[in-house]
Structure 1
């Protein structure tokens, strides 16, 4: 898998794991097209299957499933620093170190979250 494919996969995963608000649903066909261009067949298939599955849920069901899965589960919490620091103050330092690691690896974090 080349660098462009990796960036596309990571961007798609980031979007697909974000809160499924109305904008998330509106962008479904755009992401379906972007994901459809991923060369890695298995990854492309899994991501497209996820989009197809998500489309079968109502907005309320999708949000409810997202909240139940990610907001209430310690094992499925999306904050990668949560396991080490929980809600402690040290988490901020850990997040900054993670952001630096992303940048050193050639990724450009967005300004949406620390």
Structure 2
């Protein structure tokens, strides 16, 4: 029995290490494509050597797309996919908080979690941005990172479904990410379905005391009226 328990502990440790590698690779693959992308892909290649099973193949398909596609096309498609379509936003609290003051509190909860683990939230990106959360879960605090991801399983499922439906090469990366989380419950399935059908919550009144900051567009131009808050 002792040998079996030791073997189970080793298996559990190996699974946790693989999950961390998957999340780190996914964080790099979901980052905005820029001049650092080639270096990120080198790191992803090294991480794939430590990942087995269908998750490795899924991540490799996204990486192969980034390797083989013209960088300008990749950047254009990234913006169209994640910045222009509400159903495929990478900001996890957008689906749970929407355009309400609750979203600000949820964003601050991410920031508090980071500070509680001894790191500062990133500069230039919201703390609920999926690549940021994945990097935190992979490299800083795996347990808290998994809690943050699991708490937003419904938005992740909505995002995954949206990417599959539009044929995005990033759908494979979301498949791998979701595979690192506990099995989805019936309640989470229903919640994701409701979010997909009804959209994020919104407030018609009372928004004046709290305003979400709209950052400049990725091409460097200033934000314009109607842009979605980040």
Cα drift, residue 102 of structure 1: 7.8
Question: 2:34 aligned with 1:13, yes or no?
Answer: no
**For each residue in 1:35-90, what CA deviation from the matched residue of structure 2 results, as whole angstroms up to 9, or x when unmatched?**
22113x10001101110111111110010010000000111000011113234443
Partners of 2:37 and 2:120 lie apart in 1 by 17
Question: 2:82 aligned with 1:46, yes or no?
Answer: no
Partners of 1:77 and 1:85 lie apart in 2 by 13
For structure 2, the residue ranges without an aligned partner over 5 or more in a row are 1-13, 128-230
TM-score (norm 1): 0.80
1:22 match: secondary structure: coil
For structure 1, the residue ranges without an aligned partner over 5 or more in a row are none
Which structure 2 residues correspond to residues 1-114 of structure 1 after superposition, within 5 A?
A: 2-39=15-52, 41-98=53-110, 111-112=121-122, 113-114=126-127
Partners of 1:14 and 1:110 lie apart in 2 by 18
Tell which has more relative contact order, 1 or 2 (C-alpha 8 A, sep 6+).
2
TM-score (norm 2): 0.43
Partners of 2:31 and 2:97 lie apart in 1 by 22
Partners of 1:59 and 1:81 lie apart in 2 by 29
